Structure 1
Amino acid sequence: MPDAAQLLTSATLSTGEIADVLIAADGTIAGVGSDLDARSGPAVTRVDLSGRVLLAAAVEPHAHLDKAFLAEVVTNPTGDLIGAIDAMRSSRHLLAVDETIERAERAARLMASNGYRAVRTHADVTAEHGLRSIEALTEVRRRVSDLIDVEIVALCGWPVSGMAGADHRALLRAAIDGGADLVGGCPHLEVIDDSGTIEAATDELLQIAVDLGRGVDLHTDETLDPSSNGLDVLAARVMSGFDLPATASHCVSLGQRTVDAQQETAERVAAAGIHVIALPHTNLFLQGRGTAPMPRALTAVDALRRAGVNVAAGADNLQDPFNPVGRACAFETAGLMIMTSHLLPENAWASVSTNSAMALGLDVGDITNAASTGGLGIGAPADLLAVPAGSVREAIAMGPTDRWVWRAGRRRLVET
């Protein structure tokens, strides 16, 4: 926590307003307004933010830290999703715990220095890989705990249903025992080789979540096939009594349906209280190859937002077989949400900050007046990012490398 209260003066908020932001001695946001300087008194430490945009710190809602920086080691010859999965399967013998720790820690520190307050990372839990990623990422979580919060989703392999899925179900339970926070999996992959159904896989994953008292974050409908209905299945199961936190990531197939069908599903998802994570980087790279006309390969962001769904955005993979590029930078993700989903810059930043924080269940404070505070919730931890720019649009467009980062009110310098 900071040693004394701080007043960040003359900051440009994401709304475009010039305001002061008061950080209390306990490291929380105590006020946002234009008259705080005169009311704060001489004991407050003042920091001049003239010429800088002050933003709520970013949250990465969907990463794969265990795969980060593998692009030069594991290549994806076909460039599609199955090609990436097959490349990882054939290269498991190259991925030891120690080197996974090194890569994942490097990625987490880079995120922290770029202005992320937290990251939710999926960790492969498969018959070929065992619990190596869980062991590596729990150690990374410990090492970077003072810089960035790390939440781990046990990403169960497939099949997960029926007799054939018994080993994966056992591994999933062991992963939670080993330190994972959430239950994850890919129900839509069950149908690839007729090993099961989306419904059966979803039921197994939710039952394990109930048994262990954990929320779920499922890779959902990561396909352009409009008939893939995992999001509808998940919404129905949640409405039938699953009362733990539920998140659906990807949801690409929804973007391939008619406008009316999108809205019907979106309203069910909103009623179920499911968070949806859009992942433009990886979906644009993997999906739609050889298809004409080329699809946009993203979930139906507009329909979901109209229905009241909390839509967050993440970068997914970082320089690996699923996405060979990426900078671990929320400005990059926000820019893609502007280009692919037609979000306004302020909404694009919300998708990588406040919305993502809500998807992870993080404290965002009182955001009832978010329109006047630029999304800086009163009472929330003062996890902030300030960059030289005249507006949030300019910050997203230029991605300035000169970044001032506050964590719980304390300005941090992070070694990457």
Structure 2
Amino acid sequence: MMLEHTLSQSRRAFLSHTGMLATACAAGGLSAGSAQAASAGTADKADAMRANSLADRHYLLAGVRLEEGFEHDEDVVVATRTGLYTLEIKDGVIVALHPEKAVLPEGLPRYQANGQLLLPTMRDMHIHLDKTFYGGPWQAPRPRQGKTIMDMIALEEKLLPQLLPTSQERAEGLIALLQSKGSTVARSHCNIDPVSGLKSLEHLQRALENHRDDFECEIVAFPQHGLLHSKVDGLMREAMQMGVQYVGGLDPTNVDAAMEKSLDAMFQIALDTGKGVDIHLHETSPAGVAAVDYMIDTVEKNAALRGKVTISHAFALSTLAPEKLDETATRMAASGISIASTVPIGLTMPLPQLSQKGVFVMTGTDSVIDHWSPFGSGDMLEKAYLYAQLYRGSDEFRLSRAMSIATGGVLPLDDQGNRAWPKVGDTASFTLAAASCSAEAVARVSARSATFHRGRLVSGGVDQA
């Protein structure tokens, strides 16, 4: 018994040391991997007590930190109160939340979170899993200065044949990256173009099939080279028959040079096949505003499209006067049109104003090291961090609210400080973070040590209790 006690104390000391080191490294711009490397000698001894996969259908995860409420100084939220719990998980569902020191069910496998914070699973709702340099040698994009989107499309036509042979393996590498950052849900755009035909889609679907138990992903058939410009209407319709969930589109004026005709063609595919729409709209000119208005008009006239349309990027909204923005956001909310934003730097998108009007705002990585951009990290918590910096302020309450953009609106506490998540019956999809509360996790982009999807450990590890 004394040996077991000493071993347990040593293990807790190690995990405490590693957690503090990981947090410190994250604050200094280093990765959790750097923190683990710094403790490599001790980590080797602890590895034998770590579980990097779970085959159990019914088990306990102890030492989980859950948020319980806000603490106030008069009417100001100044801190978040937390407590330690044991999660009982069965067949991918949280079936009980046992408070600290509660009598636990006997005979179940036990794992230990060691006081780490439980956060909802992250959702990367705009990414391109099908084309990336990730997983290969470093390659910076070509200079963008003076280049139009048509120049970039011409470059892509040359690059795609080089990327296709390894696109499935690289997609699976990106999936692993997302999982390591706490994301187990995504929406991926996938090229449908004359160069790759349906090959990019076939490769992506094979990658997703290999991860059907540990990762959820919707697919958008994306006519990257222009729906009309590249004459891919037929290929897009074939993609819909292959199980794709969304019809994509791209800058109907700058690329297709026919705004109404391009949008009509996109919406017609959606209506004919019963699918949703997710269009890339980068245009900030009056043509971009006209495209937004036309899409709202179209959805208002077609009940079958309501709640099924997303405008990705939607940069034109940043150009609207307050009165026009208010009107546009109100109409978008009424039609169930959502926004997928990367929370761009250098362009002030009216994301808080849209949310306040009831427009559902999502975020995503977009590019992860490809010919468009080298800056994608695959980390939705980082997007919440940027959102908090750009829009929501640095106080405890607003930092905690900023996380919603990364989790699809799921937050541990509601605005009144009542626990909203997790609850008994919720799917056991979450991530463990080295943070004391959501506000700290957002502000420090805290390291994540383990990611679970429907009760399965899909990235990182937990201690064997």
Q: So what's the TM-score if we normalise by structure 1?
A: 0.82
Taking the aligned partners of 1:133 and 1:412, their CA distance within structure 2 comes to 25
Match of 1:149? Answer: 216
Would you say 1:64 and 2:128 are equivalent positions?
yes
Deviation at 1:11, TM superposition (A): 0.7
- Matching residue within 158, 173, 195 for 1:128: 195
Partner secondary structure for residue 38 of structure 1: coil
Match of 1:359? Answer: none
Taking the aligned partners of 1:25 and 1:180, their CA distance within structure 2 comes to 31
Unaligned runs of 5+ in 1: 285-295, 356-363
How many residues are matched? 385
Match of 2:25? Answer: none
Deviation at 1:45, TM superposition (A): 5.6
Match of 2:155? Answer: 87
Would you say 1:78 and 2:156 are equivalent positions?
no
Identity level (%):
25
Residue-by-residue CA offset, 1:178-220 (whole Å, 9 max, x unaligned): 342221111xx231266311x3222211211121121111113
After superposition, the Cα gap between the structure-2 partners of 1:155 and 1:325, relative to the gap in structure 1 and judged at 3 Å, is same
Unaligned runs of 5+ in 2: 1-54, 70-79
Deviation at 1:226, TM superposition (A): 5.0
Is contact 1:101–1:136 with CA below 8 Å preserved after alignment?
A: yes
After superposition, the Cα gap between the structure-2 partners of 1:193 and 1:237, relative to the gap in structure 1 and judged at 3 Å, is closer
Is contact 2:411–2:421 with CA below 8 Å preserved after alignment?
A: no
Return 125-134 or 46-55, whichever deviates more: 46-55
Is contact 2:413–2:420 with CA below 8 Å preserved after alignment?
A: no
Deviation at 1:43, TM superposition (A): 5.6
After superposition, where does 1:322-401 map in structure 2 within 5 Å? 322-342=372-392, 344-355=398-409, 371-373=417-419, 375-376=421-422, 378-401=424-447
- Matching residue within 216, 225, 229 for 2:285: 225
Residue-by-residue CA offset, 1:128-168 (whole Å, 9 max, x unaligned): 3322211110111112222211221100245435xx66x31
- Matching residue within 173, 183, 203 for 2:237: 173
- Matching residue within 186, 191, 194 for 1:119: 186
Is contact 2:130–2:171 with CA below 8 Å preserved after alignment?
A: yes
Would you say 1:29 and 2:94 are equivalent positions?
yes
- Matching residue within 302, 314, 320 for 1:251: 314
Taking the aligned partners of 2:88 and 2:233, their CA distance within structure 1 comes to 46
Is contact 1:109–1:414 with CA below 8 Å preserved after alignment?
A: no
Taking the aligned partners of 1:371 and 1:117, their CA distance within structure 2 comes to 26
Partner secondary structure for residue 66 of structure 1: coil
Deviation at 1:67, TM superposition (A): 2.1
Match of 1:196? Answer: 258
Q: So what's the TM-score if we normalise by structure 2?
A: 0.74
Return 21-30 or 117-126, whichever deviates more: 21-30
After superposition, where does 1:44-63 map in structure 2 within 5 Å? 47-49=111-113, 51-63=115-127
After superposition, the Cα gap between the structure-2 partners of 1:265 and 1:37, relative to the gap in structure 1 and judged at 3 Å, is farther
After superposition, the Cα gap between the structure-2 partners of 1:405 and 1:216, relative to the gap in structure 1 and judged at 3 Å, is same
Counterpart code for 2:377: R
Residue-by-residue CA offset, 1:249-292 (whole Å, 9 max, x unaligned): 11111012112211111111100012211112xx44xxxxxxxx
Q: Which has the larger radius of gyration?
A: 2
Is contact 1:313–1:337 with CA below 8 Å preserved after alignment?
A: no
Match of 1:358? Answer: none
Is contact 1:23–1:382 with CA below 8 Å preserved after alignment?
A: no
Taking the aligned partners of 1:46 and 1:37, their CA distance within structure 2 comes to 15
Is contact 2:185–2:217 with CA below 8 Å preserved after alignment?
A: yes
